[in-house]
Amino acid sequence: MKPALLALFLLLFSSQLFAQDVTISGKITDDGGKGVPFATVYIRNTTKGTSANSEGEYSLNLKPGQYDVQYKAVGYKAESRKADLRTSQIINIALKAELYELKEVAIRAGAEDPAYAIIRKAIKKRKGYLNEVNAYTCEVYIKGLQKLLAAPKKFLGVDVQKIARENGLDSNRRGIIYLSESQSKYSFMRPNSVHEEVISSKTSGRNNAFTFNRASDLRVNFYENFQDWEGLSPRPVISPISDNALFYYRYKWMGITIENGETINKILVTPRREHDPCFSGYIYVLEDSWRLQSLSLYLTKKNNINFVDTLKVNQEFFPVNAKVWMPASIKFEFTGGLFGFKFGGYFISLYKDYEIDPKLDKKQFAEVLRITKGINKKDSIYWQNERPIPLTEEEKTDYQKKAILAAKRESKPYLDSLDKVNNKFSAGKFILGGYHHRNRYDKEYYNFDPLLSSILFNTVEGFALDYGASYVKQIDSANNKYLSVYAKARYGFSNHLLNINGGVSFPAGQFRLNLSGGSNVLDMNNRQPITDFTNTVHSLFARQNFEKLYQKQYVNFSASNRISGGWLASGYAEWSDRKWLSNTSNFSFFHPDNRQYTSNNPFIPGADVPLFPQNQAFKLSVRTTYDFSNKYETYPTGKRYLPSVYPTIGFAFTKAIKNVFGSDADYNMIAVDIAKDDIPLGFYGKTSFYAAAGKFFNAKNINYTDFRHFSGNEALFYKPGNSKFLLLDYYTFSTGDKYLEAHLEHNFSGFITNKIPIIRKLKLQEIVNVNYLTTPTFKNYVELGFGLQTAGLRVMYGTSYNNMSSKVNSAIRIGLSF
């Protein structure tokens, strides 16, 4: 090698050698030598830092140099160390409990606590701090852990002990059930645009899985008036510094302390009413700037939260420049239990390398989340170098043990053995739950319907068997695409009518195609407002045969596709032969009040007069919807588009063409609709609405089955929906002309019932709805409904009026959303 090249090589080698990272590590303890969980470690005047693990151990990779290292935890006095890092060092730190002094403030009896003056200033500054950063980027590390703390040996006949053993838990059914880490690049632009790219992911026991950790899910901002945690709390949780916080909270000044030249006020916050959606705990407010420095808050069952008994939220902020403070860490801890199962865990996110107000392209925020192939393939060396929170011994063992289990679960012998056990036929399972034959390795699935749920009764067929089976095969694992073949046979034991139908559904490029055909017995109302099961129960036990049926022989070809973003389109071509059917059975278990069945003609209930002659129709139909959203998430299997905050509008057009394959039908129909579910209204719940209008034109020949039908309800039990009526007759108000229907429902989310001590534990939600319909023959029909719901069950009282004045009906309805 030439001397000059050798010298250059040595220079480059030495520069790389001295540029290698060094590690500062150790343990952070309290005065008693006990580890301080999740204490934070940051380099002063930078946004580089880390967090200790649950045992107080920390590790931070840095370039060689001199650093001022800050150690802090909520409730402890911050410590700092000067470190001249040329090689890796171990620095152990003992944090002392913070003492907050009350000197220089005199609190007279009956006087207002000094905390209120501080809170008023913080509230006044709230909106400014909420809006002070228009955009930022940062890197986020997230770690999630959930542990099963206790469990019964068996539950509802299931061998919990066996399942626990197969999933790596100990003999007492305790241990880690979820452990995952991820690193993301996160971007934010006001008012609420986010883009997150997951760059690495690791999940214990699932080698091919991607983490559930999302920086967006863990983002909280107490400068907002409330936190809307859908699912966890039925109502938004009010921030201690919201505009109306003084109405919901009490405050107590606990004193001041000095940290890095900043005076910090410690304030105890408690709800004025313990059952309001409010936090308890402490917030720490900086003197003069009146911004949040940190907080330690919690919610309990008294606050009416779901799924968990207690939820703790800890958040710390640090200055990223002379004017702006940003979150350094956010931690959620939770515990809960149900039916003998007890669990606990946490999610923690660490933020670093903030860039404030960078130049960002608005177009990039159409993609909210990006998870690409290979991010879950990083090896242990990568994680050892990149992981900011050291693993505990328990977590190391869990990763190692479950990696072996994961490899075993993904092997063909294991999958085949699992299928062999689960594919065993059982008469009891077949009757109640059907039979499912799986080939997990080849991703093939055969499904046979439960026998019991396939048995039905109606007055047209008598007792009938409507039995189906299907075959599903994954044909494109990269894009998660499937081939599906299905078939059904239906036989009426009273009218001796056999109907067989089936179809095949498959992907073709960007389209999903479906070809189906055969013969079937169907509801004359194509909205299918009543299920076969509900009609069976009402018929056999109350002698009420609500369902009106006809026979249809058909061939149908349909296609659907996403045109762009929130723009969807679908269409079909169908030929059909429709035949009215008469009643053939008068059977029921009971005869209440000598009640008689009605005929299969809803307009002439006392006689089986055909409602329509046998006819044929050839129809072409298209429908398109748009929800004003172009936001999506990208996964290795493809894109998932997200719903818009705006309503979805729809347009449909149907044309029945005469003399094609013998078609009698001849009409055109156009329809438009607009809908939106769960529009948030803050403390006052959420609203949903649906409105639709349509008109038939050039209707030279139209039969009843082609009419516009509505989702009426005459049964005690019904399935709620944003386009359904409470009391409307299923059939008699259908129209072949024009129509307008509208539905409005508001859910108060416990705003009223939570204030009533006796019933607040039931977590009831108040429901109010209004339904409207008008047609040329049935003008201005209105329904008003009032009721309560909880856990998928609602009880409503409804009353209806014709022409907005004369009362038509009133009744109680029970809605089931299981």
DSSP output for 47-108: S-EEE--TTSEEEEEE-SEEEEEEEE-TTB--EEEEEEESS-EE--EEPPBP--B-TT----
Q: What is the pLDDT of residues 125-166, one digit of tens each?
A: 999 999 999 999 999 999 999 999 998 888 887 888 888 887
What is the per-residue pLDDT for 386? Answer: 87
Amino acid at 70: Q
Q: Is residue 47 a part of any domain in this protein?
A: yes
Examine the domain organization and report whether 756 and 645 are in the same domain: no
Q: Are residues 656 and 679 in the same domain?
A: no
In terms of residue numbers, what domain contains 483?
A: 449-540+549-664
- The residue with greater pLDDT, 165 or 548, is 548
Residue 101 falls within a domain, yes or no?
no
Q: How far apart are CA 233 and CA 119, in angstroms?
A: 25
d(CA 812, CA 818): 19
Residue 423 lies in a domain: no
State the chain's mean pLDDT as an integer: 90
Same domain, 715 and 615: no
> Which region among 232-241, 281-290, 443-452, 547-556 has the lowest average model confidence (pLDDT)?
232-241
Residues 596 and 734 in one domain: no
Is 104 a residue whose pLDDT tops 80? Answer: no
Same domain, 185 and 324: yes
pLDDT on residue 164: 83
Average pLDDT of the residues in 186-199: 93
pLDDT tops 70 at residue 211: no
pLDDT digits (tens, 9 = 90+) for 432-476: 999 999 988 888 999 999 999 999 999 999 999 999 999 999 998
The mean pLDDT value for 504-527 works out to 95
Q: Does residue 167 sit in the same domain as residue 281?
A: yes
- What's the angle, vertex CA 757, arms to CA 754 and CA 762, rounded to 5? 60
Q: What is the DSSP letter of 392?
A: P
pLDDT of 7 reads: 37
Residue 77 within any structural domain of the chain:
yes
Which carries the bigger pLDDT value, residue 414 or residue 775? 775
Q: Are residues 723 and 812 in the same domain?
A: yes
- Fill in the DSSP letter of residue 708: B
In a domain, 56, yes or no: yes
pLDDT digits (tens, 9 = 90+) for 578-628: 999 999 999 999 989 889 999 999 999 999 999 999 999 999 999 999 999
**Residue 380 forms part of a structural domain:** yes
Q: With CA atoms as reference, report the closest residue to 531 among 741, 734, 711.
A: 711
CA angle at residue 425 from 415 to 503, to 5 degrees?
85
- How many domains is the chain built from? 4
Longest dimension (CA), the chain: 113
Tell me whether the omega of the peptide bond preceding residue 643 falls within 30 degrees of 0, making it cis: no
688 with 643, same domain?
no
User: Average of pLDDT values for 722-746?
Assistant: 96
Whether residues 248 and 142 fall in one domain = yes
Res 769: pLDDT: 96
Helix, strand or coil, per DSSP, at residue 238: strand
Structure tokens that stand for 500 in this block: 């067989």
Tell me, what CATH number does 42's domain have? 2.60.40.1120
Strands (E), 73-203: 79-85, 89-90, 93-94, 135-150, 154-155, 158-159, 175-189, 193-203
pLDDT value for 332: 93
Of 37-46, 445-454, 563-572, 645-654, the range with the lowest mean pLDDT is 37-46
CB-CB contact of 209 with 376 (8 Å)? yes
Report the amino acid identity of residue 645. V
DSSP state of 390: P
**Six token digits for residue 31:** 């005065």
pLDDT at 373: 85
Above pLDDT 70, what percent of the chain?
96
Percent of the chain at pLDDT > 90 equals: 65
Q: Please report, for residues 256, 533, 590, 600, 670, the alpha-carbon distance to residue 595 in angstroms, rounded to integers and kept in the order given.
A: 79, 20, 9, 16, 41
Asked if the structure places residue 208 within a domain, the reply is: yes
Please return the burial class of 222, using the count of CB atoms within 10 Å of its CB with bins 0-12, 13-18 and 19+. Answer: buried
| Residues 194, 329 within the same domain | yes
Of 644, 664, 684, the last residue of a domain is 664
579 and 600 in one domain?
yes
Confidence of residue 8 (pLDDT cuts 50, 70, 90): very low
Residue 104 domain-assigned (yes or no) = no
Question: Is there a contact between 535 and 546 (Cβ–Cβ < 8 Å)?
Answer: yes
The confidence band for 10, taking pLDDT boundaries of 50, 70 and 90, is very low
Same domain, 153 and 268: yes
Which of 616, 643, 664 is a domain's end point? 664
Residue 784 has pLDDT above 50, yes or no: yes
Of 408, 430, 462, the position where a domain reaches its end is 408
Give pLDDT, residue 106.
54
pLDDT number for residue 580:
97
Per-residue pLDDT at 202 exceeds 80: yes
Give me the pLDDT at residue 208, please: 54
Which of 229-238, 443-452, 519-528, 615-624 is predicted least confidently? 229-238
The full DSSP string for 505-570 is EEEETTEEEEEEEEEEEEESSTT--S-HHHHHHHHHHH------EEEEEEEEEEEEEEEETTEEEE
